[in-house]
Structure 1
Amino acid sequence: MSTERLVQVSNLQVVACGEDGNEVPIVKDVSFSIQRGEVLALIGESGSGKTTIALTLLGYARRGCRIAGGHVGVGGTDVLTASPAALRDLRDLRGRRVAYVAQSASASFNPALRIIDQVIEGVCVRRLMSRKDARTKAVRLFRALALPSPDTIGERYPHQVSGGQLQRLMAAMALMSDPEVVVFDEPTTALDVTTQIEVLRAFKRAIEEFHISAVYVSHDLAVVAQIADHVMVLRNGEIQEEGALEQIIEAPAHPYTRSLMAAAEPSCRLTEADADQALKQPPLLEISDLVAGYGEHDRAGMPAVRVLDDINLTLRRGTTLGVIGESGSGKSTLAYVIAGLLAPAKGDIRFVGKPLPGTHAKRDRDLYRRIQLVFQSADKVLNPAQDVGTILARPLRLFERCAPNEVPARIARLLDLVKLPASIARRRPAELSGGQKQRVNLARALAADPELIICDEVTSALDSVVGAAILDLLVELRHELNMSYLFISHDLSTVRSICDDIVVLFKGQKVDACNRSALFSQPRHPYTSLLIDSVPEMRANWLEETTLRAKA
C-alpha cells in the first residue's frame, strides 16, 4: 500500500442549530488521515457523527449543520476554503474525485428512468466521456461488481432488480468517474445476510481492482472487519479509539469499543424457564395452506405473482415466532396477510381459534386492535407534522382504551414502558434518534392493547447498541404484558436471541422449522445452513475464507 496521504483531516468541528437557536457541537476536534488505497472505517452508534464526518470530505454538511472549523484536504484540494478558485475545485471534487454511495439505493434511483441512463448521467453531463464510451465503461463496472447479465441489466428500471443488485449499481455509478475516494455510507445495513455477502465481495473486489481509497461508515464491526484496514471509533462526535483493524478487534483499549463488540455478539435473551413455559401455551395464530401474492387472479383464484405458496405455521400465545429468509422470500407479504393488508388467495388463518377475515374491511374494530404491525422504518410511518403525544393519543382514542381525561397519563405510561422520558411527548419525530423513533413506533402499537404484535425488520436499520436495547425491550414487554410476537427478520442471530420457534422461508415456501435450541444443534435444510454460514464473524479474512469455501 502506498504511504501517500490522500486525505488529511485535522481539528474538524461541525455544529448544529439547537432547539433554542444556539449552535451545538456535534463533531468535536476530529483528526485523521487516509493513505492512497486504504479503507478507513468509521464506526459508532446512531448520532456518533459517522456520516457527518464522512460528508465533510465532499465539503458538505446536512441542513441545519455547519462546518465550523478545521482543515479537510483531499488530494491537495482544501475542501473548506471559500475562495472562488476553491469553489470551482469543490464542484470538480464532488461526484468526480470524491463519490458517495448511500445507505438506501432504492431511495436514490429515479424509478422512472432506466438504470444505465442514471449510472452514466454524471460523466455525460460533465463531458468526461462520450455517451458510447460511458455505456461501455458502465458495463465493465457491472461485470467487475459481479452483477448478473452485465450487458443488459442497465436497460431495466430500478424496481426490476433486487436490493443487493441496486446497491451494487449505485457503486458502479460512483465509480464511473474514477474517483480518488469513495464514501460508503452504511451500504449493506438493510440487506439480508446472503445478499450482504455478495455486495461486500463486490465492493472489496472493486476497491482492490481500481485501487480506491474509501471511508466505510458502519455500526457493524463484523462487516467492518471484512473490508477495512483502519478503524476509528466515534461517540457523540468524538474519537474514542483508532487503530489498525486487527488491534481494534483483538485488543480494543477503550471501554466503549468493548461495549460495541459486546452488543454485536449474539446472545440468548430467553431463559430455560421461558422455553418450558412456551411449550405449554395454546395456539394464538394458526395458518394452514396459505397462498398469497399480487396482480390479477386467474379463474382458479390464484394471483399472477405468487409470493407465498402453501405456508403452514403456528404461533403459541405468549411466545415469539421468528420468520427469517432473504429479500423476496415472502416475509413481509406474510405480515401483510396476517395484518389484513393483503387478502390471501387460498388457505385458512385462525386467530384464537376463530377464522380470521382476509382484509381489514371484513374485520371489526376490536380485531383490528388485537393485531398490530410495527414496520421496519419508523420514519415512514410516524407523521412528521405531529408530536409524539398526538401520535400516541390517536390509537388510545380510536380504540377507546381510556377516558379522555386519562389520555395524558396513559401516554406517559406508554413512554415509560418503552424506556422514554415523558418529555418526548412534546417532540416531533424529526427531533428523535432512530432508536427513539422505533420505540415510539412500538409504543403506538402497545397503545391498542394488542394480543399479537408483528415486528417487520424492526432492528435492521438500527446500530448494534440501539438494536440490542430494542430486543431487550421486546423481551421485557413480553414478560410484563404476556405479549406474543411474530418477529420477521433477515438476521439469524437476532431471531435466535429472542424467538422460541423459527420458520425459514425461501422463495415463498417454508423450507425449515424448528425451536431455537435445534437451530445450531441439529442438521438443517441446506438453505438454513447457508444463512448460518453467511453471518459475518468479527475477524479479518472471514470473507476470503467463505469465498474459498463457496468455490470448493
Structure 2
Amino acid sequence: MENLVEIRDLKVEATTDSGRCVDIIKGVSLDIAAGEIVALIGESGSGKTTIALTLMGYTRSRCRISGGSVRIAGKDMVTFSERERAGIRGTKVAYVPQSAAAAFNPTKRIIDQVIEVTRIHELMPVEQAKEKAIELFRALSLPDPDTIGKRYPHQVSGGQLQRLSAAMALIGAPKLVIFDEPTTALDVTTQIEVLRAFKSVMKAGGISGVYVSHDLAVVAQIADRIVVLRNGEVQEVGTTTDILSRARHPYTRQLLAAFEPRPRGDEIVVTGREVLLEVNGLVAGYGPLQADQLPLIRAVKDVSLTVRKGRNLGIIGESGCGKSTLARTIAGILPPSTGNMIFENRKLAGTVRQRSRDQLREMQIVFQYADTALNPEKSIEEILGRPLTFYHGMKGKKRDTRIEQLLDMVHLPRSLRHRRPQELSGGQKQRVNFARALAAEPKLIICDEITSALDTVVAAAIIDLLKELQRDLSLSYIFISHDLSVVEAICDEIVVMYGGRKVEEITPADLKAPQHPYSKLLFSSVPKLDPQWLDSLKLDPELIRTYGHG
C-alpha cells in the first residue's frame, strides 16, 4: 500500500530559558499508508503531540524542526514556506485539538467557525458548507444537528464542543486528520458513538489518521498500528493486536500494566466519619430567572449528597448531565438558585465573594481544562506562589522552598518553575493545576476530570499520590469524571447523574450490578483493551433510545 505520510529522521529542538538547545524529538521515522490510522502513545512529554504537529509544519513556541523530512503525498512540510503550509492546513491536513475550548472563538456562532476553512480556501459556497456541516453534526451524534450550529460555544457542553471541533477538521475533506486526544472530554457512552463515527467517516473517505492518545482502550478500537514513544524516541512499532497482546519493549509493557484495573483494597485510611460537606436540594443553572425564581436552564435539579471526612465521593455521568455545574456550584463559582450547603458544620455561602478566607482555603477546585485554567502570562513559579502568599502570607525563601515541594509532590521537575503554561505538555499543565490547589492546604479538593489529560502511567501515579496525600493530610475528594476506572480506584461512594438529577448512589463494589437503567448503559460502555470490542458491542436498543444521543 502506498504511503501518504513518510517521516524520516525527524529532529525537533527546543531552546531553554538559558538559551541552550535541547533535542526533544530524536531521529523519529515512521510511515502512514493511505487510509491507515496510526496511534502515537506514550507518557506526557514523550513527543506525541510534537511529532503530530510537524505534519502541519508547526512547532510550539521556542521549538523548531532541526533535521529530517516530513513528507505528505511526496511534499516535504519542512521545506515549505509558511504560505505553502497555510494552503495545506485544513484541506490536505486537519487537526482536532485536545481542548476544544481553546479552539473556538466565544464571540462567534459555532456554524460560522466550523465552515470558516471552506471560506478561507474557497472550497464551496456558504450554503453548501452549512449543509455539509449539518451532515457532519449528525454523523458525529450531536444533538439537534439542524440548529446546534446557531449556538455560541459556551451554550454547549464540553463533550459537544469536542465533537464540533472534529466537524471543523473534517469539513475541508482532508487526506490526513490529526486527532490530539479528541475523546478526552467525552463520557463513555458518547465516546462510543464518536469513535464509531470517526471510523466510519475515515474509512468511507479513505482518510489517513494520526491518533494521539494515552488511552490504550480507545486506541485499540480505532488504530491499525501503534507507535510507542518515550523521551522523543520510538520504543516500539507494531499492529494494534501485536502491541496489545505481544508487546516486546519493557516500557510498552509498563503502559499496559498501568491500564489494568487497580484494586482499591483498604489503602485509604479513614480519619473520621464526621460529615465534612452536606448538600441539600441544590438547584443551579443558567439564563434569566423565571416566574418561579428558578433559572431558564436548570443544569442541576434537586441534588443532595454528603462527603465525609477522609472519604471520597465520585460523580459520574455523560457530558451535559450537570456534574461540572454541580462542582462549580459547590465551589461557589456559580450561585445556587435553591438548596443549601453545610461545610464543617457551618452554612456555606453561595458565592466565593461571601465566603471567608478560611472557607476558600479549605475547599479548592481543580478544573478540567488546563489550557483555560492557567494564566498564560505568568510563570509556574508565579502561579504557585500566589496562593502561598494569599492564604499563608509566604514570601521569599520560604515561598520558594514550598514551590519546590509542591512541584515534587506532583512529580514535576523543579526546573519547570520558570516556564510558562504554553511551554508545558497537557499533562504537565494539569499537574500544575493540582499543585496550585495543594498550595492552599485544603480539607476538600473538587477534582473536575483532573486525570483526563494524563497518560495512564502518570494518571496511575497521580491516583497513588492522592491516596498518599489523603493519608498524610486527611484530605477528602469529590471526583467529577467520566473515567470509571479512576472513580472506582479511589472513591468510597459514587453518584450517577443524568439530566441534572442524581439517579443512583452506589459503592465501587456495586459497579457490576447497577440498578438504574442509565447506570447499566454507562458501565457497559467502558472500552476494553480489545480491538474487537467496539465492533462487537451490542447495547440494549431501548437504553440507547432512552439515554443515547440521537
TM-score (structure 2 length as normaliser): 0.90
Q: Could you say which residue in structure 2 is the equivalent of 1:450?
A: 442
Offset, 1:444: 2.9
Is 2:312 the counterpart of 1:320? yes
Pairwise mapping of residues 280-429 of structure 1 onto structure 2 (< 5 A)? 281-400=273-392, 406-420=398-412, 424-429=416-421
CA offsets 1:309-363 (integer angstroms, 9 cap, x no match): 2212111111111111122222222222222223322223222233222223332
Match of 2:173 among 165, 168, 178: 178
Offset, 1:389: 4.2
CA offsets 1:102-147 (integer angstroms, 9 cap, x no match): 2233322333333333333323332333334434443444444444
Is 2:113 the counterpart of 1:115? no
Call closer, same or farther: CA 1:77–1:301 in 2, change over 3 Å: same
Call closer, same or farther: CA 1:299–1:406 in 2, change over 3 Å: same
CA contact (8 A) 1:266 1:494 kept: no
Is 2:488 the counterpart of 1:496? yes
User: What letter is aligned with 1:306?
Assistant: R
CA contact (8 A) 2:177 2:209 kept: yes
Q: Could you say which residue in structure 2 is the equivalent of 1:49?
A: 47
CA contact (8 A) 2:160 2:319 kept: no
1:106 and 1:443 mapped to 2: Cα distance? 22
Q: Could you say which residue in structure 2 is the equivalent of 1:237?
A: 232
1:331 and 1:48 mapped to 2: Cα distance? 32
User: What letter is aligned with 1:216?
Assistant: Y
Match of 1:265 among 236, 256, 260: 260
2:396 and 2:169 mapped to 1: Cα distance? 54
User: What letter is aligned with 1:461?
Assistant: A
Is 2:459 the counterpart of 1:464? no
User: What letter is aligned with 1:112?
Assistant: T
Call closer, same or farther: CA 1:423–1:60 in 2, change over 3 Å: closer
CA contact (8 A) 1:77 1:89 kept: no
Call closer, same or farther: CA 1:163–1:113 in 2, change over 3 Å: same
Offset, 1:417: 3.9
Offset, 1:69: 1.7
Offset, 1:549: 5.8
Offset, 1:149: 4.5
Offset, 1:487: 1.6
Is 2:188 the counterpart of 1:193? yes
Q: Could you say which residue in structure 2 is the equivalent of 1:69?
A: 67
CA contact (8 A) 2:229 2:236 kept: yes
Offset, 1:537: 0.7
Q: Could you say which residue in structure 1 is the equivalent of 2:548?
A: none
Is 2:199 the counterpart of 1:204? yes
2:205 and 2:74 mapped to 1: Cα distance? 20
Offset, 1:215: 1.2
Look up the SS of the partner of 1:226 in the other structure.
Answer: helix
Match of 1:546 among 516, 534, 537: 537
Moved more, 194-203 or 146-155: 146-155
Moved more, 408-417 or 333-342: 408-417
Paired residues, what number? 543
User: What letter is aligned with 2:27?
Assistant: D
Offset, 1:170: 2.9
Offset, 1:237: 1.1
Moved more, 396-405 or 355-364: 396-405
1:378 and 1:154 mapped to 2: Cα distance? 26
Moved more, 8-17 or 222-231: 8-17
CA contact (8 A) 2:267 2:467 kept: no
Call closer, same or farther: CA 1:175–1:306 in 2, change over 3 Å: closer
User: What letter is aligned with 1:324?
Assistant: I
Moved more, 56-65 or 372-381: 372-381
Moved more, 130-139 or 319-328: 130-139
User: What letter is aligned with 1:540?
Assistant: P
Look up the SS of the partner of 1:15 in the other structure.
Answer: strand
Call closer, same or farther: CA 1:203–1:435 in 2, change over 3 Å: closer
Call closer, same or farther: CA 1:182–1:448 in 2, change over 3 Å: closer
Call closer, same or farther: CA 1:73–1:517 in 2, change over 3 Å: same
1:28 and 1:271 mapped to 2: Cα distance? 41
Offset, 1:47: 1.3
2:345 and 2:82 mapped to 1: Cα distance? 68
CA contact (8 A) 2:38 2:211 kept: yes
Unaligned runs of 5+ in 2: 545-550
1:159 and 1:505 mapped to 2: Cα distance? 21
Offset, 1:402: 6.5
CA contact (8 A) 1:401 1:448 kept: no
Call closer, same or farther: CA 1:60–1:114 in 2, change over 3 Å: same
1:91 and 1:408 mapped to 2: Cα distance? 43
CA contact (8 A) 2:268 2:471 kept: no
Offset, 1:479: 0.5
Is 2:42 the counterpart of 1:38? no
User: What letter is aligned with 2:525?
Assistant: S
Offset, 1:400: 3.6
CA contact (8 A) 1:373 1:455 kept: yes
User: What letter is aligned with 2:441?
Assistant: D
CA contact (8 A) 1:293 1:308 kept: yes
- Give aligned-pair identity as a percent: 56
Q: Could you say which residue in structure 1 is the equivalent of 2:473?
A: 481
Q: Could you say which residue in structure 2 is the equivalent of 1:126?
A: 121
Offset, 1:247: 0.3
Q: Could you say which residue in structure 2 is the equivalent of 1:524?
A: 515
Call closer, same or farther: CA 1:8–1:403 in 2, change over 3 Å: closer
Q: Could you say which residue in structure 2 is the equivalent of 1:23?
A: 21
User: What letter is aligned with 2:171?
Assistant: M
2:385 and 2:268 mapped to 1: Cα distance? 33
Offset, 1:433: 4.3
Call closer, same or farther: CA 1:209–1:316 in 2, change over 3 Å: same
Q: Could you say which residue in structure 2 is the equivalent of 1:535?
A: 526
CA contact (8 A) 2:38 2:225 kept: yes
CA contact (8 A) 1:36 1:213 kept: yes
Look up the SS of the partner of 1:240 in the other structure.
Answer: strand
CA contact (8 A) 1:320 1:499 kept: yes
Call closer, same or farther: CA 1:115–1:251 in 2, change over 3 Å: same
Is 2:172 the counterpart of 1:166? no
CA offsets 1:502-529 (integer angstroms, 9 cap, x no match): 1111111111112222222x34211112
CA contact (8 A) 1:397 1:404 kept: no
Call closer, same or farther: CA 1:213–1:15 in 2, change over 3 Å: same
Call closer, same or farther: CA 1:449–1:176 in 2, change over 3 Å: closer
Q: Could you say which residue in structure 2 is the equivalent of 1:60?
A: 58
